[in-house]
Amino acid sequence: MSTENNKNLLENSIKILTDLIAFKTISGEDNNSLINYCDEVLKKNGASSFKIFDSEKKRVNLFATIKAKNQNGKKPIILSGHTDVVPVSKGWSTDPFKATIKNNKLYGRGSCDMKGFIACALAYAPIFSKSNLDRDINFSFTFDEETACIGAPLLIKELKKRGFNKGICIVGEPTNMKIIDAHKGAYEYTTYFEGLAGHSSQPHKGVSAVEYAARYVSKLIELRNELKKRVPKNSIFSPPYSTLSIGGIFGGIAHNVIADKCHVKWETRPVVKDDAIFLNAELDEFVNNKLLPEMKKIFPNSSIKKEIIGEIIGFDRDLKSEACEFVSSITGDNSREVVSFGTEAGLFQEIGISTAVCGPGSIEQAHKIDEFIELSEISKCLKFLEGVKEKSIN
């Protein structure tokens, strides 16, 4: 591609990224406007698409396809990104929802995590469309990845229903265009305790939700130590075992009132799925056979309810990963790394789609005040997409 074309492509990517940042797609909020924008860009370039909505039609996933002109058995490519961003804290030196370029860096919420990748994919759509493709190029844009991958499972379910169970998926999370081939799972929960309020001078007549929550937390800490003993051989992660963290305990209204309500926020990051199964089984047994009977003995309407906030499955290393080999063949980088943050990669992998995580920008900038992406990273991503095109034409 000529220098002039490269310049135009970079400018178009910046223009699209500027538009994307202006959509305030904070997790949990409506993302229809952004998805409609992406859908319009792709349809102008000959793509067909379908949408998967949440139950309220408030948030939506998009899956679009630029069909191959000459099918020859090559596996389809999926360019995958999430459209939501984390909330904005005070302290930004620029408007977080207005793209600002300074010193070859583009600032804005979501610039690197991960609207930068989506902008590159959209900017490259016209080139894919005009190319003599011999494999389909797909675009997968989801909602609410930042809140435990709420949107992507709905899309994955639809893909599975349609028999879409092969291909190469590139999840464009910010990795400085390095290949990530594994990460732990991320399971988030909130456990709610309801007991019986009363005067603190007669604790035997009440059921303290706070005290039972404290015993629950104690059990969590005990199980955290058990998880350390279950460390797999040759674990590739740091730390090498499944972790567990208590994010907060909330309950009670006064010193002299028995608390009737309390809830605990906690999460686990399993290195293998069996650790999550073990942990939840142990907790359920403790609740059903120990805590709850004691509470109900005093107050029959007592309850303990565990709410699943999100269960992001892990992304497992595949030593013969077709996706990793595909990316390596373009970038020339054969290295593989693991990360501590979660992605949607494991969801695609679970239905048989070979997956790699590789995208522009640095995770060091994600979720921070004055989030930015270096313009050079956008250029690297566009060069990578040029490689995807070259491997997808006759």
Q: Catalogue the active-site residues.
A: 84, 145
Contact criterion met (CB below 8 Å) for 354 and 91: no
Rounded to whole angstroms, the Cα distance separating 388 from 314 reads: 26
Structure tokens at 42: 């792709």
Structure tokens at 30: 């409506």
Rounded to whole angstroms, the Cα distance separating 157 from 163 reads: 10
Rounded to whole angstroms, the Cα distance separating 261 from 372 reads: 42
Structure tokens at 295: 């509470």
List the CATH code of the domain at 186-312.
Answer: 3.30.70.360
Q: Among 78, 201, 220, which residue's Cα sits nearest to residue 136? A: 78
pTM, to two decimals: 0.90
Q: Among 229, 224, 226, which residue's Cα sits nearest to residue 243? A: 224
The correct answer on CATH 3.40.630.10 for the domain covering 3-183+315-390 is yes
C-alpha distances (whole Å) from 14 to each of 19, 124, 332, 376 are 9, 12, 26, 12
Structure tokens at 67: 């069909």
Residue 85 β-bridge partners: 26
Contact criterion met (CB below 8 Å) for 240 and 272: no
pLDDT tens digits for the chain (394 residues)? 667 678 899 999 999 999 999 999 999 999 999 999 999 999 999 999 999 999 999 999 999 999 999 888 899 999 999 999 999 999 999 999 999 999 999 999 999 999 999 999 999 999 999 999 999 999 999 999 998 899 999 999 999 999 999 999 999 999 999 999 999 999 999 999 999 999 999 999 999 999 999 999 999 999 999 999 999 999 999 999 999 999 999 999 999 999 999 999 999 999 999 999 999 999 999 999 999 999 999 999 999 999 999 888 999 999 999 999 999 999 999 999 999 889 999 999 999 999 999 999 999 999 999 999 999 999 999 999 999 999 999 7
CA-atom Rg of the chain in angstroms = 24
Q: Any idea where the domains of the chain sit in the sequence?
A: 3-183+315-390, 186-312
SS3 content of the chain, % helix, strand, coil (to 5): 35, 25, 40
Residue 372 β-bridge partners: 107
List the beta strands (DSSP E) in 44-94.
48-53, 60-66, 77-82
Interacting residues of 314 by C-beta distance below 8 A, sequence separation 6+: 182, 183, 184, 185, 270, 271, 272, 273, 346
End-to-end CA distance of the chain: 17
Peptide bond connecting 239 to the previous residue in cis, omega within 30 degrees of 0: yes
Q: Among 276, 287, 182, which residue's Cα sits nearest to residue 230? A: 276
CA angle 238, 241, 247 (to 5 degrees): 90
Question: Element (H or E) spanning 21, and its range?
Answer: helix 3-22
